[in-house]
């Protein structure tokens, strides 16, 4: 029976204890073989890698300007996992069954030479390799991303109305430049392109229909996302959430929709097709219809911590092991031990009254 590592150990400023605990666990954990499942029987299929905690936007629901200002303590360069370290950890995850890797952030296209990392991850073999971006730098980078081996891309865009979009990204960034990025990604062959729109009551509900109309028939898939209570700084209130059911009703009343089956088990977006064959949309109802039961995602933060839930307060410090001389087999045992004990289901048990305890920020862990 593997020993349990208290999370407190992993947060200790002196990580020697954590390292020792992991070492004990790695030695005691059963060799990894067969399908890995967590404490609720969920497999490990997806890995989200945050490559930077910095961003050129200050979206009001993610990095509010008054918190993420000039003095915000972003990670120092030495704290970031290097590309070699990321690729090594990713290989361990792939060997444990991960088939889908998403690069995120912060804004992943801000990480210098991210194409080099993409090429390294492509070399891991048959993984669906994708990236989520705010699109600001996409027009000039799309072709290089594709050439490096990126399979697909997701672009975030919260409104087609310029004033609304500028207010939401809070750095006065125009819609037109994101649309140029989307076109460049399509031209580069990064299809199908998904477009993420976070819907916040009172800010951009009026943009739901124009977004649906604009991309209907384009081959791009708009995914409407309920505003989530991630992090501790975005002032989330249940009243600000526009339920996915309402979004589907709004669109369906103008452009009839029929439900579509998930593409694969554990897909977070609920799929709807236009009845006239004009393509599909997705809704991500993380608040009103939690999907913890099917959550097969692990997250690797910019500084090398493994998080088993988007709403976790802290992660497991894998970087200490990576830099502490652990070989790949020991890393795999440690990751497997982390996964086996995973019991998270925050969204299933959250209510409007759940206290907003300190949680890790979205911009640090990635979406
Ligand atoms: N900067 C990139 C971007 O915006 O696409 C990647 C990182 S961002 C954290 C990943 C996704 O999370 C984006 O689609 C963003 O809209 C979404 N997101 C951020 N904060 C959110 C929140 N509070 N609720 C729902 N989605 C959120
Ligand atoms: Fe930056 Fe993406 Fe967060 Fe917006 S959602 S602030 S673009 S990390
Ligand atoms: Fe997964 Fe945690 Fe979100 Fe539930 S709350 S779906 S366990 S990340």
Q: Which two tokens stand for residue 52?
A: 């930077």
Long-range contacts of 173-180 (CB under 8 A, 24+ apart): 173/56, 173/57, 173/134, 173/136, 177/135, 177/136, 177/139, 178/134, 178/135, 178/136, 178/138, 180/138, 180/139
362 vs 151, which has greater pLDDT? 151
pLDDT digits (tens, 9 = 90+) for 206-228: 999 999 999 999 999 999 999 99
Ligand 1, atom 2, lies closest to the CA of 133
Which residue reads 């890790």 in tokens? 360
Q: Where are the domains of the chain?
A: 15-31+38-365
Q: Which atom of ligand 2 is nearest to the CA of 107?
A: 8
- CA of 310 from ligand 3 middle (Å) equals 6
Q: What whole-number distance in Å separates Cα of residue 123 and Cα of residue 212?
A: 36
The whole-number average pLDDT for the span 93-105 is: 97
Q: What is the pLDDT of residue 363?
A: 77
Contact 337, 351 (CB under 8 A): no
pTM, full prediction: 0.92
What band does 27 get if pLDDT is binned at 50, 70 and 90?
Answer: low
Q: What is the pLDDT of residue 241?
A: 95
Ligand 3, atom 2, lies closest to the CA of 309
Mean pLDDT of all residues in the chain? 90
What band does 242 get if pLDDT is binned at 50, 70 and 90?
Answer: very high
- CA of 186 from ligand 1 middle (Å) equals 21
How is residue 241 annotated by DSSP?
Answer: B
Residue 17 has pLDDT above 70, yes or no: no
Question: What is 15-31+38-365's CATH number, 3.20.20.70, 1.20.200.10, 3.40.50.300, 3.10.450.50?
Answer: 3.20.20.70
Q: How far is CA 23 from the centre of its chain?
A: 29
Q: What whole-number distance in Å separates Cα of residue 166 and Cα of residue 173?
A: 5
Task: Look at strands 280-284 and 221-226 and give their pairing.
Answer: parallel
Ligand 2, atom 3, lies closest to the CA of 62
Residue 296 has pLDDT above 90, yes or no: yes
Q: What is the pLDDT of residue 235?
A: 79
pLDDT digits (tens, 9 = 90+) for 318-351: 999 999 989 999 999 999 999 999 999 888 887 7
Rg, the chain, Cα only:
20
């Amino acid at each position: 029976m593997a020993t349990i590592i208290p999370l407190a150990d992993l947060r200790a400023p002196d990580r020697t204890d954590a390292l020792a605990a992991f070492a004990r666990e790695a030695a005691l954990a059963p060799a990894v073989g067969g399908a890995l499942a967590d404490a609720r029987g969920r497999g490990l299929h997806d890995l989200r890698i945050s490559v930077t905690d910095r961003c050129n936007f200050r979206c009001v629901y993610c990095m509010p300007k008054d918190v993420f200002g000039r003095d915000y303590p972003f990670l120092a360069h030495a704290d970031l996992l290097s590309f070699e370290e990321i690729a090594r950890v990713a290989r361990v995850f792939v060997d444990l069954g991960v088939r889908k890797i998403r690069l995120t952030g912060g804004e992943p296209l801000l990480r210098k030479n991210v194409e080099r990392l993409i090429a390294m991850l492509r070399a891991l073999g048959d993984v669906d390799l994708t990236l989520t971006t705010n699109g600001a730098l996409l027009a000039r980078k799309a072709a290089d991303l594709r050439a490096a081996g990126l399979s697909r891309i997701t672009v975030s865009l919260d409104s087609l109305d310029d004033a609304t979009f500028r207010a939401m990204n809070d750095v006065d960034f125009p819609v037109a430049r994101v649309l140029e990025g989307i076109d460049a990604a399509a031209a580069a062959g990064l299809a199908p392109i998904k477009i993420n729109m976070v819907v916040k009551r009172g800010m951009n509900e009026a943009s739901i229909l124009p977004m649906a109309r604009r991309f209907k028939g384009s081959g791009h898939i708009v995914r409407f996302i309920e505003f989530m209570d991630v992090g501790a700084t975005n002032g989330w209130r249940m009243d600000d959430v526009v339920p996915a059911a309402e979004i589907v009703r709004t669109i369906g009343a103008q452009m009839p929709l029929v439900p579509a089956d998930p593409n694969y088990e554990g897909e977070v977006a609920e799929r709807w097709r236009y009845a006239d064959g004009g393509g599909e949309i997705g809704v991500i109802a993380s608040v009103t219809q939690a999907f913890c039961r099917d959550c097969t995602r692990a997250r690797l933060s910019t500084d090398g911590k493994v998080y088993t839930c988007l709403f976790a307060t802290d992660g497991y410090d894998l970087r200490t092991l990576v830099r502490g001389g652990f070989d790949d087999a020991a890393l795999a045992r440690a990751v497997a031990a982390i996964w086996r004990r995973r019991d998270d289901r925050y969204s299933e048990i959250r209510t409007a009254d759940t206290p907003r305890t300190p949680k890790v920020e979205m911009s640090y862990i990635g979406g």
